[in-house]
Amino acid sequence: MAHDYNEFNPAWEERTPVIIGLLCNWCSYRAADLAGTSRFGYPATLRDLRIMCTGRLDPTFVVKALREGADGVLVMGCHPGQCHYDAGNYKAMRRMALLRRTLVQLGVHPDRVQLAWASASQGTVFTEMVKNMTETIARLGPLNWQDTAFDESQHKEMEAIRG
């Protein structure tokens, strides 16, 4: 493996971090395309899928991804005020705020689920975001939510965040 995630967290002994990316068709998916055509390298942690707009973000998608084994979910859309559909990204913002609070109650660190913006010309912003998120997830360690959702120790860790 090109990246040694053990440096961040020894729990990455067996596998590498996996992040599911939900990218909007108009800005962030194109930013990812631009990162490709510009040959900006980034860690192979992100596996993305395309939705037309972050307004399509059903919180279930995020929960589903975590349950299926992803260590984090990165939702990216157009910058506020630049949504192709007027304001879908604002709706995503509201849903994400609520979802992150809910996930904390379910034992998931809120930094595992992030919302960010990149316009179609911002291949660099997209690349940086993937790098940052990968590092965050690398530090947090594997989620393995299928096994740990009802693990007492995880819940205690979250109590501090819950406040």
Partner 1 sequence: MTENRVGVYICHCGHNIAGTVDVEEVALWAAGLPHVAVSRDYKFMCSSLGQELVEADIKEQHLTHVVVAACSPHMHEPTFRQACERAGLNPYLFEMANIREHASWVHPNDRAAATDKAKAIISGSVRRVLELSPLEPLRAPIHETTLVVGGGIAGINTALEIANAGHPVVLVEREPSIGGHMAQFDKTFPTLDCAACILTPKMFEVGMHPNIKLLTYSEVEQVDGYVGNFTVRIRKKARKINTELCTGCGDCWGRCPAKVVDNIYEAGIGYRTAIYRQFPQAVPKYPVIDVETCIYYKNGKCKACEKFCPTGAIDFDQEDEIILMQAGNIVLATGYDLFDARRIPAYGYGRLANVFTSMEFERLTNATGPTGGKVVLRDGVTAPESVAIIHCVGSRDKNYNVYCSATCCMAALKFAHLVKEKTNAEVYNFYIDMRTAFKDYEAFYIRLMEEGTHFIRGRVAEVTDAARIPGEEGKLIVQAEDTLVGKQRRIPVDMVILMGAMEPKDDAKEVAYRFGIGCSEAGFFTERHPKLDPVATMSEGIFIAGACQGPKDIPATVGQGAAAAARVLSLIGQGVVEIEPVRAVIDESRCSGCRICNNLCPYNAIDYLEEEGVSRVNAALCKGCGTCVAACPSQVIQGQHYTFDSLMSQIEGLLYDVGNNQNGHVRVMEPEPV
How many residues of this chain interact with partner 1, rule: CB under 8 A?
Answer: 56
136 binds partner 1 (CB under 8 A): no
Q: Measured from the CB of residue 160, what is the shortest distance to partner 1 in angstroms? A: 26
Distance from first CA to last CA of the chain, Å, rounded?
38
52 binds partner 1 (CB under 8 A): yes
**Number of neighbouring beta carbons within 10 Å of residue 57:** 24
Q: Measured from the CB of residue 114, what is the shortest distance to partner 1 in angstroms? A: 17
Residues 68 and 6: their CA atoms lie apart, in Å, by 23
Nearest residue to 110 (alpha-carbon basis) of 91, 96, 125: 96
Residues 21 and 105: their CA atoms lie apart, in Å, by 23
81 binds partner 1 (CB under 8 A): yes
**Number of neighbouring beta carbons within 10 Å of residue 51:** 20
CB nearer partner 1, residue 59 or residue 110 = 59
68 exposed, middle or buried (CB, 10 Å; 0-12, 13-18, 19+)?
exposed
51 binds partner 1 (CB under 8 A): yes
Q: Which of 47, 101, 156, 162 binds partner 1 (CB under 8 A)?
A: 47
Q: Considering only the stretches 4-12, 36-44, 133-141, 152-160, report the one whose residues sit in contact with partner 1 under the rule CB under 8 A.
A: 36-44
The residue whose two tokens read 């530090």 is 139
Residues 80 and 1: their CA atoms lie apart, in Å, by 37
CB nearer partner 1, residue 81 or residue 162 = 81
What is the contact surface with partner 1 in residues (CB under 8 A)? 1-2, 15-16, 18, 20, 26-27, 29-30, 32-33, 35-37, 39-42, 44, 47-53, 55-61, 64-65, 68-70, 81-82, 84-88, 91, 95, 119-122, 127, 144-146
